[in-house]
């Protein structure tokens, strides 16, 4: 229990049921609600696995099930993503050396289940939640799946008050927005319009009758008893979020180099400190906000380094950090990270006007954690699989599916919303979700009086949110997307 957060100004980490488990034959303890990786971190264990080729130690990086650096053997089952796998009493967790052995267990195979719904929504972050609520509000039946234990996506770790518009809950903490949306969801669960499946991953798209129906496979995880669902739906909305970007530098794979989202997850969801002394890389809003949250959790932030000559995030966030004595060094970056099996220090360096390291400006700093807040890339694997037309749009964060202003892609009945459709914010993700949910339901015949003015209202709200200087990038990105779509589909 070395790294548990004892006191926090916003979150009350109540003691939950104590759980014991084994790590390579050593008995350890965690709490109900922990993931396996968070319980290991709390016990000071950062090396979770080894790399396939060079046998290098690997630790947690994304913390949300999107990379492969936390794969371990759990109760003899290999390749378990321990950052999202719940901790259960008595389980045996083992470090997996290179390639996993063939599982030496008997799987009880539950019979396959079938779910027939109007709309499948993949992802229960702000975009997917709002899409589900809006579609069910129109009368459509919805199946909402998410691979996490709790709904809310990235909101569940955002302890700060949101910017944006009043309608999209500006001034409310992200964690509270997640609770409010979950309460709205419960009303529709009670009347049977929305079925929610957590711990469930949408894993593939299959040949259906594309004109009338789409077919997806969803796996619901239970210990040794995964259930395979064949989901037949008339429309699907992908609200799968985004993946954290990596930076290239020697030692970037050492345990202790984390994405900013992973650090937030450890601290704000599980109440576990990622380390004792952190260097933050990136002074956009995410880097600034997470640095402040590290201080709130009682962790030292040595400094923030930013390659650009100016701070990218809101100055109010930067001012808060500076008041706490954290230096923010612009035109600086990380040169290398060193350590024996885990991060023990880093070298930072000044950059010249051509982004080249200035010789002699290197500084060696002892620290145990490097936090990378260097942007996100949309999660789009499913969109490739369904055959949607994809384009590289730098302002949207990478490859995204071309979509119209109803969030409809180039494949009939397939919609996209939130960070999956271009990196932006939770406030815009919520509105895009509403537009996608409303449009999908209307396209299936669930029409109500006043629908067109409701859609116009949502679109007006999006324009307002994107009107300011911080909305410039997504504004340009969305403009490029609709221009390309117009050119190809006149």
Ligand X SMILES: Cc1cc2nc3c(=O)[nH]c(=O)nc-3n(C[C@H](O)[C@H](O)[C@H](O)COP(=O)(O)OP(=O)(O)OC[C@H]3O[C@@H](n4cnc5c(N)ncnc54)[C@H](O)[C@@H]3O)c2cc1C
Does 418 bind ligand X (CB under 6 A)? Our answer is yes
What element of type H or E holds 244? strand 242-244
- Partners of 115 in the beta sheet? 231
CA 383 – CA 72 distance, rounded (Å) = 28
Of the candidate residues 162, 229, 249, 446, the single one contacting ligand X (CB under 6 A): 162
CA 95 – CA 74 distance, rounded (Å) = 9
Q: Which does 426 bind (CB under 5 to 8 A by kind): ligand X, ligand FES, none?
A: ligand X
Enumerate the H helices of 171-309 as residue ranges: 174-190, 260-264, 285-296
Residue 237 vs 402, nearer CB to ligand X: 237
Q: What share of the chain is helix, strand, coil (3-state, %, to 5)?
A: 30, 30, 45
Of the candidate residues 21, 23, 61, 446, the single one contacting ligand FES (CB under 6 A): 61
Find the part of the chain contacting ligand FES (CB under 6 A) among 57-65, 131-139, 159-167, 319-327.
57-65
Give min distance, CB of 83 to ligand FES, in A. Answer: 3
Does 83 bind ligand FES (CB under 6 A)? Our answer is yes
Does 60 bind ligand FES (CB under 6 A)? Our answer is yes
Does residue 212 contact residue 116 with C-beta atoms inside 8 Å? no
E strand intervals along 32-160: 49-50, 57-58, 71-74, 77-81, 92-94, 113-122, 142-145
5-13: long-range contacts, CB 8 A cutoff, minimum separation 24: 5/267, 5/271, 5/272, 5/273, 5/297, 5/298, 6/298, 7/298, 8/271, 8/296, 8/297, 9/296, 10/159, 10/173, 10/296, 11/159, 11/175, 11/268, 11/271, 13/271
- Which residues contact residue 174 at a Cβ distance below 8 angstroms, ignoring those fewer than 6 apart? 154, 155, 156, 157, 158, 159, 160, 162, 426
Residue 333 vs 420, nearer CB to ligand X: 420
CA 423 – CA 417 distance, rounded (Å) = 10
For residue 267, what is the DSSP state? I
Does 279 bind ligand FES (CB under 6 A)? Our answer is no
CA 458 – CA 431 distance, rounded (Å) = 6
Of the candidate residues 41, 46, 58, 66, the single one contacting ligand FES (CB under 6 A): 66
Give min distance, CB of 71 to ligand X, in A. Answer: 17
Of the candidate residues 34, 146, 182, 199, the single one contacting ligand X (CB under 6 A): 146
Tell me which residues in 264-323 interact with ligand X (CB under 6 A): 264, 286, 289-290
Residue 84 vs 429, nearer CB to ligand FES: 84
Of the candidate residues 147, 182, 306, 461, the single one contacting ligand X (CB under 6 A): 147
Residue 134 vs 147, nearer CB to ligand X: 147
Q: Which does 261 bind (CB under 5 to 8 A by kind): ligand FES, ligand X, none?
A: ligand X
Q: Which x/- pattern, by CB under 6 A, does the window 7-46 give for ligand X? A: ----------------------------------------
- Partners of 27 in the beta sheet? 22
Tell me which residues in 70-129 interact with ligand X (CB under 6 A): 122-128
Residues at the site binding ligand X, with contacts judged by CB under 6 A: 64, 122-128, 145-148, 153-155, 158, 162-164, 201-202, 239-242, 260-261, 264, 286, 289-290, 379, 418-420, 424-427, 429
Which residues here bind ligand FES, judged by CB under 6 A? Answer: 60-63, 65-67, 69-70, 81, 83
């Amino acid at each position: 229990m070395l790294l548990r957060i004892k006191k926090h100004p916003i979150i009350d980490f109540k003691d939950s049921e104590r759980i014991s488990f084994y790590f390579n034959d050593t008995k350890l303890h965690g709490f109900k609600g922990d993931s396996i990786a968070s319980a290991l971190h709390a016990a000071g264990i950062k090396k979770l696995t080894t790399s396939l080729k060079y046998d290098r130690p690997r630790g947690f990086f994304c913390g949300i099930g999107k990379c492969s650096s936390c794969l371990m053997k759990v109760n003899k089952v290999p390749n378990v993503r321990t950052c999202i796998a719940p901790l259960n009493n008595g389980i045996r967790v083992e470090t997996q050396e290179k390639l996993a052995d063939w599982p030496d267990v008997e799987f009880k195979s539950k019979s396959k289940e079938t779910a027939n719904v109007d709309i499948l929504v993949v992802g229960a972050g702000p975009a997917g939640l709002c899409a589900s609520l809006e579609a069910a509000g129109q009368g459509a039946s919805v199946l909402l799946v998410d691979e996490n234990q709790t709904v809310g996506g990235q909101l569940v770790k955002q302890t700060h008050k949101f910017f944006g518009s009043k309608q999209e809950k500006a001034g409310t903490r992200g964690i509270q927005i997640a609770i409010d949306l979950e309460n709205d969801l419960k009303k529709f669960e009670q009347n049977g319009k929305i079925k929610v499946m957590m711990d469930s991953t949408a894993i593939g798209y299959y040949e259906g009758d594309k004109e009338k129906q789409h077919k997806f496979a969803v796996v619901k995880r239970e210990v040794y008893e995964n259930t395979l669902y064949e989901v037949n739906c008339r429309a699907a909305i992908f609200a799968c979020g985004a993946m954290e970007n990596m930076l290239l530098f020697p030692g970037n794979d050492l345990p202790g180099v984390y994405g900013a989202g992973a650090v937030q997850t450890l601290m704000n969801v599980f109440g576990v400190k990622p380390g004792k002394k952190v260097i933050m890389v990136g002074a956009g809003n995410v880097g600034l906000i997470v640095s402040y949250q590290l201080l709130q959790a009682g962790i030292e932030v040595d400094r923030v380094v930013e390659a650009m000559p100016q701070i990218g995030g809101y100055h109010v966030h930067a001012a808060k950090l500076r008041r706490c004595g954290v230096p923010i060094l612009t035109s600086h970056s990380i040169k290398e990270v060193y350590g024996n099996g885990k991060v023990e220090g880093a070298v930072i360096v000044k950059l010249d006007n051509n982004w080249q390291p200035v010789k002699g400006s290197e500084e060696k700093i002892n620290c145990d954690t490097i936090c990378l807040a260097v942007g996100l890339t949309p999660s789009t694997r499913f969109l490739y699989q369904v055959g949607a037309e994809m384009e590289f749009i730098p302002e949207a964060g990478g490859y995204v599916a071309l979509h119209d202003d109803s969030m409809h892609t180039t494949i009939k009945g397939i919609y996209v919303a939130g960070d999956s459709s271009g990196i932006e914010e939770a406030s815009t993700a919520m509105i895009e979700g509403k537009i996608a949910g409303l449009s999908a339901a209307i396209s299936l015949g669930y029409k109500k009086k006043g629908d067109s003015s409701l859609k116009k209202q949502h679109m007006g709200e999006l324009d307002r949110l994107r009107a300011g200087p911080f909305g410039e990038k997504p504004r340009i990105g969305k403009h490029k997307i609709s221009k390309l779509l117009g050119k190809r589909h006149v």
